[in-house]
A and B are shown apart, each in its own frame.
Chain A
Amino acid sequence: MRQVWVAAALVGSLCVLAVGCNNNPYPEHDAELKVLYSAFSTPHRSLDPAEAYNVSAHRVTGLVYDTLLEYHFLKRPYTLIPGLAKQVPTAEPLEDGRVRYRFTLRPGVNFAPDPCFELGGAGRVTREATMEDVAYQLMRLADPALNVQVRDQFSNIQGFKQFHRALIERRGADPAFAALPAREQYAALGGVEGVRIEHPHALEITLHSPYPQILYWFAMEFTTPVAWEAVEYYDGEAGRERYADHPVGTGPFGIDVYDKRSRIVLDRNPHWYGLADPRAPGAHYPEEGAPGDAEAGLLDAAYVGRPLPFLDRVEFRLEKEGIPLFNKFLQGYYDSGGIIKESFDQVVQSERLSPEMAAREIRLQKAVSPGIFNLGFNMEDETLGVPAGDRGRKLRQAMSLAVDSEKWIELFLNGRGLPAQTPIPPVISGAPEGYLNPYRQVDLDRARALLVEAGYPDGIDPATGAPLKLTFDAYEVSSQSRPERQYFVDEWRKLGINVELSSTTYNEFQEKVDRGAYQIYFWGWSADYPDPENFLFLLSCAMRKSTTGGPNSANFCHPGFESLFNQMEVMEDGPERRAIIREMVAILEQERPWIEIFNGVGYSLAHGWLANVKPFGMSYPMTKYLDIDPVKRARVRLSWNEPVVWPVFAIAGMFVVGIIPGFRTFFRERQ
């Protein structure tokens, strides 16, 4: 009978195991801490603030690196506030069209503790950041050795391009020079002319021509103070990491564990300037917000005016697949998450959270993203474009009137979009407010009348006697995305226009574009910074695809629009600029180089214990404003993840039943 006892012990221990374990992936002792858990899907290639240029990397670098300017957490349209700088500078016009900005650094800005600071003196673990560190980073942006994707945007700084070229030349000509540490190379070349340090806390940036949008770049990590010690110490040799894998900054958090194949842990930076100076605009919770924020609980008295950050720790985990990530979110192991396409209808029902989700106190956040998707006409085309004169314009207007973008959004985006009226998304400061584009409201009768005026009655081209034939060039169209394009073709069919959907490979499409042999295309653009200029430049002469290879694939070049654009480009935001933008939009309304389709609306989910969630739309992490109720989280997680024990017993039972005949045979044979 001993075997029976062994089997019983086995079953018993299985039961104990089943009851005692759970699926919590985190250590028990962290349960009481305010730890924010989120996920990343691919290891970051580089966290160097000069190189990192994607949403996923910014979610880490944005916590480690502070910037001179920041965006207001709540206000929309987006508003700049001082960060490390004492105030947002204004442009000072200089002689011969140059412009100067003066930044003043707050006192007491310190780097997060790191062993690299030993380079500056034995025993040192941190030091105060100065404008030298900002200037150093600006020079790094010009350094050809780094993969800087936004170098062009800084080229308005006087001497920036020259510095870039000088580095290339000296390094090529002089191997001894190239072997020096980068910092000494920069010093030997005398730095960038337009970047001047008056004293350790004052920086002057001189632009050779006006570029008001440069301030937005001072709110991105590209212009953060960077410690030369960190860059030189973390050189990837002798067992040290690369700087790209070991960020050291002045931000509210510092890297604690960086294992890019599994997890990234950030701890509070004990030397963060905000701890000593909680009244700084970027160091406490804002007192005012956008309309609707108070109702949404974002101006809770428990938070307003309180010093940041609220979290103790931020932890990112590698999560390669969407479905497990979403399941872990539903189990409470991630605090916020997106909605995967597969379960959209399960989570969101008629634009609201499903009752099942709402019962879990999950909140749905919607935010219009600063981007646009549009159909474009090639304005150099003989039939559709400028060469066709008034006929072409009327044809474009008619085609614009026929496309119902609301239904398109409904069908293909689950309603996650806003029908666009202008190229400028409504969340951008300076976008015309309350404007409805008369050519973006579906009106087939008017469209037909316009076709008659254009000389294509019922879509018949008098030259051939057959329906007007156009081509819609769509590249890399999969079977799934084909109906998304076919929809537009079907809309135009209602007018009697025969638009052929030509799907090609990307290379073939590029070739067509190079030859100018395309008529209609579908395209999208996402903002680098929240300024109308970042959208309207897509229609400026200088960006024409046909002449400069720029992103203006419509090849739109309108003298009136162009002169307004040149005026607008160098103006600061204000009523005058807005008036000009209105005029520009009015030109686009008539000219119709684009059929604006939609601005995306991002849906995200957050659990009830996560406070102060407001989607931002652009790639700036607002993590320092978040707060967590760890007690509630721990309790809810337990109740959502009660182990289901019966399958263990069932399997054990089946096992026992299964071996009984064996035992019986065994005993019988022995007798």
Chain B
Amino acid sequence: MAPHVLSNAIVLLLLVAAGFALRFVRGNRMWRDALAQLWRRRRGSLLVIVAFLLVGLLDSVAWTGGQGQDALAAHEARTVIDRLFQGDREASYSAPLADAAFYGGDPLAAPGGHWLGTDILGRDVLHRTLKGARVALMIGGLTSLIAIPLALLFGISAGYFGRRIDDAIFFLISTLASIPSLLLLIALIMALGKGTWQVCLALGITSWVGLCRVTRGETLKLRELDYVQAARALGVSHGRILVRHILPNLMHLVIITFVLMFSQLVLSEAILAYLGIGVDGSWGEMIDQARNELSREPIIWWNIAAAGSAMFTLLLAVNYVGDSLRDILDPRTLRETP
């Protein structure tokens, strides 16, 4: 199956999942209230996140056909975003909205058409920045998909079953936590090879420990609560207790951690890009490439500015939403909020 078909299918799946999630939220009073409160408090940030998500989705829907920038593009699957930016490839650098090339001053193919200028190979910077949104979301999303189940599995089993299992898991966690995480990341990527999946896997393996500690602690507490004790006394199976009583009470933690971890991951990728082991097409890569451009005379700032502000905007919005979510969902602050 061609990769773009898979990508399209995943987009469809995501949309369906989002529909179900919305229905669930509408049917559940607590979640509905939380969402409404979040919307009231952080409307701007939510809109920014939705915009980035939309760009990421648009950049994941691709099909072949049509005329492209060059002979090869016609045979390639191009996304909606690619199709918006085709046919205006320049020779090299041009400043934002410029009419002429930055060096030499030759006329451009699309004068005034590059809102954020072009890079050294003449590619539109706005195009690359928008494409970076998908990479950032993928890094955040995929890694969370790896890290959260791991953390939940280990955290709940350690907290709920205790004893030997707890000892073993806690030993694993402590060991992992005492390895410098950057070192471990580099080693993992060297072993797994480069690529988006590999980087996400490596980030996932190094970032589940924090959530695992939290879920373990929370489970330890939940295990002793009256209704759990009652369920156990009535002979309800472990699996059922975990699914009905423990897991739902951990969900708010999962969501808060997910949101906060997300921004951490996108930043980690930028550091990895700096070390030369990042993901192709990411903002981290753009920033790393632009490092030397800053020391040029005259300075070329639009690459680093575009990638930097895109990253900043997304992460700021995510952090705002994360903070508000904590306020809203954390039981300790739940009652205090109006």
Contact = CB atoms under 8 A, between A and B. Distances in A.
A505 B190 contact: yes
Nearest to A478: B276
A425 interface: no
B175 interface: no
B291 interface: yes
B25 interface: no
Contact of A459 (B71, B120, B193, B291): B71
B289 A493 contact: no
Interface in A330-358: 341-343, 345-346
Interface residues of A, number: 34
A356 to B, nearest CB: 12
B140 to A, nearest CB: 20
Contacts of B72: 459, 467, 493-498
Contacts of A436: none
Interface string A189-224: 000000000000000000000000000000000000
A486 B70 contact: no
A411 B289 CA distance: 14
B73 interface: yes
B202 to A, nearest CB: 15
B278 A467 contact: no
A351 to B, nearest CB: 12
B297 A479 contact: no
A296 interface: no
B119 A483 contact: yes
Interface string A476-494: 1111101100110010011
Contacts of A232: none
Contacts of B296: 345
B237 interface: no
B92, B119, B276 — which one has the most chain A CB atoms within 10 A of its CB? Answer: B276
Given A480-B289, A487-B121, A346 B71 contact: no
A411 B276 contact: no
A493 to B, nearest CB: 4
Contacts of A486: 121
B289 A341 contact: no
B71 A496 contact: yes
B288 A480 contact: yes
Interface in B119-141: 119-121
A483 B297 contact: no
Contacts of A410: 92
Contacts of B289: 479-480, 482-483
A503 interface: yes
A459 to B, nearest CB: 6
A458 B71 contact: yes
A99 B295 CA distance: 56
A483 B121 contact: yes
Contacts of B295: 341-342
A87 B71 CA distance: 61
Interface in B66-122: 70-73, 75-76, 91-92, 119-121
Contact of B73 (A466, A476, A487, A493): A493
A165 interface: no
Contacts of B194: 503-504
A496 B190 CA distance: 33
Given A466-B75, A480-B291, A411 B70 contact: no
Interface in B270-297: 273, 276, 278, 285, 288-289, 291-292, 295-297
Nearest to B276: A478
Contact of A479 (B76, B193, B288): B288
A486 B278 CA distance: 17
A388 B291 CA distance: 43
A494 B92 CA distance: 16
Contact of B292 (A341, A407, A508): A341
Interface in A507-528: 508
B298 interface: yes
Which of A342, A478, A483 has the largest count of B CB atoms less than 10 A from its CB? A478
A479 B278 contact: yes
The majority secondary structure among interface residues of chain B is loop
Interface string B248-274: 000000000000000000000000010
Interface string A395-418: 000000000000100111000000
Nearest to A494: B70
Contacts of B76: 467, 498
A412 B297 CA distance: 15
A66 B75 CA distance: 64
Contacts of A459: 71-72
Contacts of B73: 493
A411 B119 CA distance: 11
B151 to A, nearest CB: 30
A493 B278 contact: no
Contacts of A508: 193
Interface in B151-195: 190, 193-194
A496 B72 CA distance: 4
Most A Cβ at <10 Å: residue of B72, B120, B121, B193: B72
Given A458-B71, A478-B276, A411 B190 contact: no
B297 A346 contact: yes
A112 to B, nearest CB: 44
Contacts of B71: 458-459, 493-496
Contacts of A412: 120
Contacts of B91: 407
Given A407-B91, A458-B71, A496-B72, A490 B121 contact: yes
A411 B120 contact: yes
Contacts of A478: 276, 288
B254 to A, nearest CB: 34
Contacts of A476: 276
Contacts of B298: 345
A504 B73 CA distance: 25
A342 B292 CA distance: 8
A483 B92 CA distance: 11
Given A479-B273, A494-B70, A343 B291 contact: no
Given A479-B273, A479-B285, A345 B297 contact: yes
Interface string A406-436: 0100111000000000000000000000000
Interface in A569-628: none
A490 B92 CA distance: 13
B214 to A, nearest CB: 35
B276 A479 contact: yes
A347 to B, nearest CB: 9
Contacts of A341: 292, 295
Contacts of A494: 70-72
A480 B292 contact: yes
A240 B246 CA distance: 77
A123 B193 CA distance: 67
A490 B278 CA distance: 22
Nearest to B121: A483
A460 B72 CA distance: 9
Nearest to A495: B71
30 contacts: A341-B292, A342-B295, A343-B297, A345-B296, A345-B297, A345-B298, A411-B121, A412-B120, A460-B75, A467-B72, A477-B276, A479-B278, A479-B288, A480-B289, A482-B285, A483-B120, A486-B121, A490-B70, A493-B70, A493-B73, A494-B70, A494-B71, A494-B72, A495-B71, A495-B72, A496-B70, A496-B75, A497-B72, A503-B194, A508-B193
Interface of B: 70-73, 75-76, 91-92, 119-121, 190, 193-194, 273, 276, 278, 285, 288-289, 291-292, 295-298
Q: Which 8 A-B pairs have the closest CB atoms?
A: A496-B71, A479-B288, A345-B297, A493-B72, A342-B295, A479-B289, A493-B70, A346-B297
Given A412-B120, A508-B193, 4 more contacts: A483-B119, A493-B70, A493-B73, A497-B72
